[in-house]
Structure 1
Amino acid sequence: MPADKLEEWWDIYDQAEHKIGQRQRSETLRTGEYHLVANIFLFNQVGEVLLQQRSFDKLNYPGAWDCSVGGSVLAGETPQDTMVREVQEELGLTITQEQLQLFDHQIASTWIEYWFVAQLDFKLSDVTVQTEEVAQVGFFNLSQAQKQLAPVGGIKYEHEVQLAWQTKLG
């Protein structure tokens, strides 16, 4: 059974990010309609980035290595709200909106992505993965992270992890 929640409700936006309605995730978006997505790269105190391997039950890119956490912004949420919720749900870690630093914002085919970075004082033993969403997690240096995020035909976030690294660690 897929881990994705097709009954979720999303606020729908035009390309200028004006809210124009709502849809359930299971409904197809029309041309010119977008939903919001929020992603984050979490760094530990020694400068390693946490990556997650997506659950093998996910509809999109099952088993692919991904950013620390990512998720669709639910109806009524801000991208920052989503990050606080998703970090808690998927990793069992607590983060505040004040710890989030926006480093990129881009429009894709049917979604608008917000990219955040944060540095937390945590170890792998502090992480409790939501097994429906996450297969495993690990800490990586920049070159290792870029290799993990460059699968053939999968999610390719090598550029975003480089931007996050530059933003957070200089």
Structure 2
Amino acid sequence: MEEFVVLVNPEDDVLGLMEKQQAHINGVLHRAFSVFLFNSKGEMLLQKRASGKYHSPNQWTNAVCSHPKEGETYLDGAKRRLNEELGIEAELSEKFNFIYKADVGGGLWEHELDYVFVGNYESDFNLNKEEVQEVRFVSMENLDHEIAQNPENFTEWFKIILQEYKDNF
């Protein structure tokens, strides 16, 4: 089944729809969201992308990152993907949004107007193995060390969004 992303201008005015993979080939600006989840110790949840993903497989990234569907709010999309990927529900709050463009390899680009949401989660997961290989919590200090030592183990967009998060909070 084809998936479509919502194309926008920098002011978030809708310009149309495009098939997701084509949008990543063309590098056109589209809507996206990213979710950062933390446990009570302040550790961030990371997910390892499934090996079958068409880009950035087997790389660590934030809890959820995806695209709202046509007519869906950013928040509703984020909550939908938490359930679809991790099998969980969590209260989320919007923290900021920004535009970035990242080369994700294989001639593919992420060019997104990204809304970043933050929440807390402490319970079990029911992982969708077509999306997520595994999850783990990590301290921000250890995360910084891991990214510095092995940046290739993390998605390009996560490194950008994480820095933007740190700059805002």
Interval containing the TM-score (normalised by the shorter chain):
0.7 to 0.9
The Cα shift of 1:72 comes to 1.6
Aligned to 1:15: 10
Which among 139, 142, 161 is matched to residue 141 of structure 1?
A: 139
Match of 1:146, SS state, is: helix
Q: Which has the higher helix share?
A: 2
The Cα shift of 1:12 comes to 1.4
The Cα shift of 1:58 comes to 0.7
Pair 1:45–1:152, CA change in 2 (3 A): same
Supply the distance in 1 between the matched residues of 2:167 and 2:9 (Cα, whole angstroms): 30
Match of 1:100, SS state, is: strand
| Contact preservation (8 Å) 1:56, 1:63 | yes
Pair 1:166–1:140, CA change in 2 (3 A): farther
The Cα shift of 1:89 comes to 0.9
Over the aligned positions, Cα root-mean-square deviation in angstroms equals 2.7
Supply the distance in 2 between the matched residues of 1:27 and 1:158 (Cα, whole angstroms): 23
Aligned to 2:155: 155
- Normalization by structure 2: what TM-score? 0.78
Supply the distance in 2 between the matched residues of 1:166 and 1:47 (Cα, whole angstroms): 17
Q: How does 1:20-99 map to 2 (within 5 A)?
A: 20-28=15-23, 33-96=28-91, 99=92
Pair 1:15–1:30, CA change in 2 (3 A): farther
Percent identity for Structure 1 against Structure 2: 25
- Matching residue's letter, 2:143: A
Match of 1:82, SS state, is: helix
> How many matched pairs?
158
The Cα shift of 1:65 comes to 0.5
Contiguous gaps of at least 5 residues in structure 2: 102-109
| Contact preservation (8 Å) 2:94, 2:115 | no
- Matching residue's letter, 1:10: V
Q: Which has the higher strand share?
A: 2
Supply the distance in 1 between the matched residues of 2:89 and 2:72 (Cα, whole angstroms): 18
| Contact preservation (8 Å) 1:142, 1:165 | no
Pair 1:166–1:13, CA change in 2 (3 A): closer
| Contact preservation (8 Å) 2:51, 2:133 | yes
